[in-house]
Amino acid sequence: MESKRKINIPEEYLKNLEKRVDGLKVILEISEIISSTLDLKDLMSLVMEKAKNQMAAEACSILLYNRESNKLEFDIAMCRDESTADTLVKTISLDVGQGIAGWVAEHREPLIINDVSKDSRFYPDADRLTGFKTRSLIAVPLIGRSGLIGVAEIVNPKASYEPEIFESLCRQFAIAIENAMYHRKSIQQERLRQELEIAATLQRSFLPESPTLRKGGLQVSAVNIPAAKIGGDIYDFIELADDRIGVLIGDVSGKGISAALYMAKIISDFRYIAQKEDSPALVLSRLNSLLSRTPRGMFLTAIYLIADAATGNLQLSVAGHPPFLWFAESDVRVMALPAGPPLGIMETDYPITSIDLQRGDRLLLLTDGVFDAKNKSGNRIGFDNFVSFIKEHRDEQQVLQKTIDYVHDFSRGVERADDLTLVEIQWGI
């Protein structure tokens, strides 16, 4: 009976096979980690901790590529000394092309450096700053669908490893990081959308419930169209004693949530002060004092007037706001009144002007979004052109809608950069 033949397999071949099997196990384990979370920090920490332990490395790190600054910035750093990791993350960044990580990022090729002291590309400042001693280094580019994401580094590995397996791992890792980045961005965008929605609701709640107020022979009408979900323009009108109406129009510096919160403070403070003071100049002065205590960079241009519904008399004060238009008799006058600076910049007093309307007169107050609107060629309407348009249509009753249509037609096909606010005051209608 013929005996079975023995096959001798070289020990070195078996060891290499075992290493590859171990490497594949690591890839499978890390694949499970990758599929377990879309949190970017958790993902990077878990994967790099696994790679660090597998290679018995002293440290590992991920430097993410900042496209705006064209720099590599430590986002994850793991080593025995937490202060070393904190120093790297907070203080060290590399230009693309600088250091070994910079070279890897620039050339999109992995590097295995067994002795960094013999490599001129090594960047020693990080070791000098932290006291850590880098002897050997593996650096692999992380490249996703959109290009360079960053560089992964394993520092001072003691265990043997298969470079191809680590590179394959980093390719999977790069795609996972990119997916996590997209996920984080979508969450941030959704959070911002919700915050903007809340801020827009808050902002709308501070505007008058109705855009029209009528008292005696006086009627005030307004329209407010934000350029974005949250605008920087405000208007308000309030009923005062003795058949009078207070009317405010203003333009808050900035946009977004900060402008919405600033506007809420302005309206709240204005309504309180306007009920206490009979003079528009005093109202603006007191409001200016309050706003001057807010963070620098935020201010408000404004016109505040008090109209007497019985006599047609108006008392006005201006804080750095554009002129308004007076439809009087057969002409349209541009009213550039004496004014103080915008509110919130410096302590000052505001001048006051008195106007007596005749029956049938109208005032048109506006913000600069009306005449700063641009067309596709980048040309602005301009204040003078706007005045000419109004003079042509001065006899039309729907002057607010006519103005809105004019601005929209002029800027058709162009995203508006500024809000559009108009307030019309009519007396003796």
> Phi and psi (nearest 5°) for 20?
-65, -40
Question: Could you tell me if residue 200 is inside a domain?
Answer: no
Are 124 and 242 part of one and the same domain?
A: no
Confidence of residue 316 (pLDDT cuts 50, 70, 90): very high
pLDDT at 322 over 90: yes
Q: Which two tokens stand for residue 87?
A: 């120093």
217 and 163 in a common domain = no
Element (H, E) at 346: none
Q: Give the residue, 34 or 393, on which the prediction is more confident.
A: 393
Arithmetic mean of pLDDT, 204-211:
78
Q: Is the pLDDT of residue 191 over 50?
A: yes
The DSSP output letter for 374 is B
* Local confidence band at 362 (pLDDT 50, 70, 90 cut-offs): very high
Q: Which of these three, 150, 185, 220, is where a domain ends?
A: 185
Give the position of tokens 């004092």. 289
Asked if 363 and 303 touch (Cβ cutoff 8 Å), the reply is: no
Query: Which carries the bigger pLDDT value, residue 202 or residue 302?
Result: 302
**Residue 176 — very low, low, confident or very high, per pLDDT cuts 50/70/90?**
confident
Are 216 and 179 found together in one domain? no
Contact (Cβ atoms closer than 8 angstroms) between residue 291 and residue 247: no
For the chain, what is the domain count? 2
Q: Are both 211 and 180 inside the same structural domain?
A: no
Tokens 């705006």 belong to: 68
Q: Are residues 268 and 358 in the same domain?
A: yes
Of 129, 152, 185, the last residue of a domain is: 185
156 and 271 both lie in a single domain: no
Specify if 1 maps to a domain: no
Q: Where are the alpha helices (DSSP H) in 37-77?
A: 40-54
Q: Are residues 179 and 229 both part of a single domain?
A: no
Amino acid (one-letter) located at 11: E
Q: Are 102 and 125 in contact (CB under 8 A)?
A: no
pLDDT in the model for residue 314: 95
Domain annotation covers residue 198: no
Task: State the chain's mean pLDDT as an integer.
Answer: 83
- The domain that holds 157 is classified in CATH as 3.30.450.40
Verify that 225 and 178 share a domain, yes or no: no
Q: What is the mean pLDDT of residues 166-191?
A: 74
- Residue 179 pLDDT greater than 50, yes or no: yes
- 8 Å CB contact between 95 and 194: no
What's phi and psi for 201, nearest 5 deg? -65, -45
DSSP string, 154-170: EES--S---HHHHHHHH
**Is the pLDDT score of 296 beyond 70?**
no
Same-domain check for residues 170 and 309:
no
170 has a pLDDT exceeding 80? no
In the chain, what is the straight-line distance between the N-terminal and C-terminal CA atoms, in Å? Answer: 124
Residue 164 pLDDT grade (very low, low, confident, very high; cuts 50, 70, 90)? low
Q: Is there a domain that residue 6 lies in?
A: no
**Is residue 2 assigned to a domain?**
no
On whether both 251 and 153 belong to a single domain, the answer is: no
Give the domain extent around 347: 206-427
pTM score, two decimals? 0.62
pLDDT in tens, 369-395: 888 888 888 899 999 999 999 988 887
Angle at 89 between CA 86 and CA 95, to 5 degrees: 150
Same domain, 179 and 214: no
Asked whether residue 190 is domain-assigned, the answer is no
pLDDT of res. 303: 96
Percent of the chain as helix, strand, coil, to the nearest 5: 40, 25, 35
DSSP 5: P
Determine, yes or no, domain membership for 56.
Answer: yes
Q: Tell me: the pLDDT tens digits for 61-109?
A: 888 899 899 999 988 888 888 888 888 888 889 999 999 999 999 999 8
Nearest 10 degrees: Cα torsion 83, 89, 90, 96? 140
**95-104, 145-154, 227-236: least confident range:** 227-236
Which H helix or E strand runs over 215? strand 212-215
Of the candidate ranges 91-105, 149-163, 363-377, 399-413, the one whose mean pLDDT is the lowest: 149-163
Domain of residue 228, CATH code: 3.60.40.10
Same domain, 174 and 256: no
Last residue of a domain, one of 154, 185, 216: 185
Task: Classify residue 336: in a domain, yes or no.
Answer: yes
Distance CA 31, CA 35 (A): 6
- Residue range 242-269: mean pLDDT, rounded: 83
Residue 424 bridge partners (DSSP): 221, 364
Q: Is 63 helix (H, G, I), strand (E, B) or coil?
A: strand
CA 247 to chain CA centroid, nearest Å: 32
pLDDT of residue 361: 92
Ranges of H-type helices in 207-336? 256-274, 280-291
Residue 424 predicted with pLDDT over 80:
yes
Residue 99: closest CA among 126, 80, 79:
126
CB 173 within 8 A of CB 60: no
More confident residue, 257 or 421: 421
Q: What number is the average pLDDT over the span 279-289?
A: 95
pLDDT band at 1 (very low <50, low <70, confident <90, very high): very low
* Mean pLDDT of the region 317-342: 92
